[in-house]
Amino acid sequence: MGLRTPMALLQVALPSAAQPAVVAVGVLYFGVVVAISVWAARRTRTASDFFVAGKGIGLIALTVASVSVSVSGFAFIGGPGFIYAVGLGAMYIVLPAAVTNVMGAWVLAKRMRLLGEARNLITIPDAIGARYRSPAAQGLAAVAMLVGIVGYMATNALAMGVVINSIFGVGLGWGIWIGMGVTLAYSASGGILAGIYNDVFQGTLMAVASVLVFLFVLSYGGGLGEISRTILAHDPTFLGPWGKLTPLAALSFFFVFSMGSLGQPQAVHKYYMLRDPLQLKWYPLLKTLGLVLVLLLYFSVGVGVKAFVLDGRLAPLASPDQATPSLLLHVTPIILAALVFSGVAAATMSAANSFINIGAAIVTHDLPIAFGRRVRNELGWGRAITVLIAIAAAITAQRSGTMVAFLGIFGWGLFASTLVPALAVGLNWQGATRAGAIASMATGLVVTLALETAAYRKAFTFPAGVTASAVAMVASFLVFFLVSWVTRRAAPLQLDPDVQLVMEL
């Protein structure tokens, strides 16, 4: 089976869940979001407050917020559907969570947080610019991230519309504008501070919903053993180590979602925000445990619904994407369905808020620096750009149809292929050079866009198990090493003493 990129699975058509309990929980959810936003807006006074919460977020809040932005609506809807379709092979998208958080802590968290301390940095391109003493590298990183953010934002706007339409029955167009309007209200007024505390609420909601669904599925299915026996009797390949994927495809997922995690700005950007760098000590453990809780739904619904359909307790699904909605609307208590639907809205809104904020920082902070300028009122411009990005994303989502799916496809891969070598390796290897970083980011950007466009236009078909994201990330790594080696004499001249200190600690 060829790989279907997970982000594409966000674009599902959800059945209507507009029942009184679901609507009531939905209204309550939006009420809490608004209350948090009003509170945060009163505390946002500077650009640093707006973009990195004044570097003053505590450990627990940052951990829950980071879990929340790391999990999109895909984990609740598209992911279980993917397991239902291909079996355990779909788990290779989430299995890397066992190592990615601690890997990020060792490779990036300490150095980025300390760079923030030494240089007052607030963005990821800032870190690349400081590391290579290069506005050009900072600018290229900013452009690459902006391209990826366009895709993510449009996809999340559409996903928001789908979920809100399902909860309130207002139609897809209104769903997009309501979701984006609420997200925009708290993004523009309270910046990342509102985002973080909304993420804490949303992440908690997602974890509670996920654990309850997991327990319900196990109870309803008579335990994991019984569920497995039912599946093994009808479709043993489903519970094979690769499911119905080829080994190369499953391993490819693991590679892209493990190594690629080091380039995901919505998670990496959070490292700047921790109040005290020494609190990083417990961050990976807490975040990993949080992610495991949120991902319990992914596994249990995918496997559980397969068994329930096979033993006749659930009607066959119209499409794999209906696994979660079908279980929620036909089997679980309606209050649990209400919690999960609000959880999905929370997941899309928290991801959208994070990307809006990062995009605004790129436009008002990184791109001007790349051209040797500084914006005088970064907070004011940050708010204005936030509004523009949100409106542009909503219009794109509403008008572009299949183009949105295409934009969403390459987001993760683009961040991975452009940022991982230059940022993750570059912050830990003093021999990396400016030329290597720029060549690597350019390679990631060009290869990802070229291959994804060719595949989208059906001008080219990848062999089973190979994805554009994986090829682009590998190419970016190889170019980074090669060009850094060729230009190695320049390396010592491109390292400021404070950056070198941070890299040696």
Partner 1 sequence: MLETINRSGTTTRGDRTRNAALAALCVAIVAIAVGYGAAFGKSGTPVWAPWLLAIGIPISLGAIMILGATRGQNGIGPLKLPFLFVVGVLAIGFCAALALPATESPLSKLWLGLPARAAVVIYGIGLLPIVVLPVAYALTFETQTLSAEDVERVRAMGRENRERGLLAKDASDREPSA
In the window 106-145, what residues touch partner 1 (CB under 8 A)? 106-108, 110-111, 114, 117-120
Apex CA 419: angle with CA 415 and CA 420, to 5°? 105
The amino acid present at 305, given as its one-letter code, is V
- Of 153-172, binders to partner 1 (CB under 8 A) are none
Which of left, alpha, beta for 15 (phi over 0: left; psi -120 to 50: alpha)? beta
Based on the shown chain and the rule CB under 8 A, indicate whether residue 48 belongs to the binding site for partner 1: no
Based on the shown chain and the rule CB under 8 A, indicate whether residue 102 belongs to the binding site for partner 1: yes
Which of 240/401 has CB closer to partner 1? Answer: 240
Count CA atoms closer than 13 A to 190's CA, side-chain side. Answer: 24
- Of 335-394, binders to partner 1 (CB under 8 A) are none
Among 217, 386, 465, 483, binds partner 1 (CB under 8 A): 465
CA distance 410 to 329: 32
Which of 13/464 has CB closer to partner 1? Answer: 464
Based on the shown chain and the rule CB under 8 A, indicate whether residue 459 belongs to the binding site for partner 1: no
- Of 282-321, binders to partner 1 (CB under 8 A) are 282, 284-285, 288-289, 292, 299
CA distance 62 to 52: 11
Give min distance, CB of 410 to partner 1, in A. 17
- Taking the alpha carbons of 338, 70, 393, 123 in that order, is the dihedral positive or negative? positive
Which of 129/284 has CB closer to partner 1? Answer: 284
Based on the shown chain and the rule CB under 8 A, indicate whether residue 464 belongs to the binding site for partner 1: yes
Based on the shown chain and the rule CB under 8 A, indicate whether residue 331 belongs to the binding site for partner 1: no
| Cβ pair 157, 176 in contact under 8 A | yes
Based on the shown chain and the rule CB under 8 A, indicate whether residue 105 belongs to the binding site for partner 1: yes
Which of 280/331 has CB closer to partner 1? Answer: 280
CA distance 431 to 39: 46
Give min distance, CB of 299 to partner 1, in A. 8
Give min distance, CB of 208 to partner 1, in A. 21
- Taking the alpha carbons of 44, 411, 350, 405 in that order, is the dihedral positive or negative? positive
Which of 12/475 has CB closer to partner 1? Answer: 475
Cα of first residue to Cα of last residue in the chain, in angstroms, is 46
Among 13, 27, 98, 315, binds partner 1 (CB under 8 A): 98
| Cβ pair 295, 92 in contact under 8 A | no
Based on the shown chain and the rule CB under 8 A, indicate whether residue 232 belongs to the binding site for partner 1: yes
| Cβ pair 474, 466 in contact under 8 A | no
Contact range with partner 1 by CB under 8 A, out of 54-62, 66-74, 99-107, 308-316: 99-107
Give min distance, CB of 104 to partner 1, in A. 9
CB atoms within 10 A of CB 282: 11
Which of 114/349 has CB closer to partner 1? Answer: 114
The distance from CA 30 to its chain's CA centroid, rounded to whole angstroms, is 22
Give min distance, CB of 46 to partner 1, in A. 16
Contact range with partner 1 by CB under 8 A, out of 74-82, 145-153, 225-233, 341-349: 225-233
Three-state secondary-structure class, residue 274: strand
Which of 216/255 has CB closer to partner 1? Answer: 255
Based on the shown chain and the rule CB under 8 A, indicate whether residue 471 belongs to the binding site for partner 1: yes
Among 164, 310, 346, 425, binds partner 1 (CB under 8 A): 425
Question: Two tokens at 193?
Answer: 């501070």
Question: Two tokens at 396?
Answer: 């794109």
- Listing DSSP states for 131-187 in one string gives HHT-HHHHHHHHHHHHHHHHHHHHHHHHHHHHHHHHHH---HHHHHHHHHHHHHHHH
Based on the shown chain and the rule CB under 8 A, indicate whether residue 461 belongs to the binding site for partner 1: no
Three-state secondary-structure class, residue 479: helix
- Of 73-92, binders to partner 1 (CB under 8 A) are 88, 91
Give min distance, CB of 416 to partner 1, in A. 13
Contact range with partner 1 by CB under 8 A, out of 224-232, 263-271, 375-383, 388-396: 224-232
Among 367, 385, 424, 435, binds partner 1 (CB under 8 A): 424
Contact range with partner 1 by CB under 8 A, out of 72-80, 192-200, 352-360, 459-467: 459-467
Task: Identify the bridge partners of residue 274 per DSSP, sorted by sequence position.
Answer: 57
Which of 398/469 has CB closer to partner 1? Answer: 469
Question: Two tokens at 361?
Answer: 């920082």
User: How buried is residue 404: exposed, middle or buried, by Cβ count under 10 Å (0-12/13-18/19+)?
Assistant: buried
Based on the shown chain and the rule CB under 8 A, indicate whether residue 46 belongs to the binding site for partner 1: no
What lies within 8 Å, CB to CB, of 318 at 6+ separation is none
Based on the shown chain and the rule CB under 8 A, indicate whether residue 222 belongs to the binding site for partner 1: no
Which of 260/368 has CB closer to partner 1? Answer: 260
- Of 266-285, binders to partner 1 (CB under 8 A) are 277-278, 280-282, 284-285
- Taking the alpha carbons of 63, 64, 69, 74 in that order, is the dihedral positive or negative? positive
Which of 68/440 has CB closer to partner 1? Answer: 440
Apex CA 399: angle with CA 393 and CA 403, to 5°? 80
Instruction: Match 């809807």 to its residue by tokens.
Output: 77
- Of 233-262, binders to partner 1 (CB under 8 A) are 233, 236-237, 239-242, 246-248, 251-252, 254-255, 258-259, 262
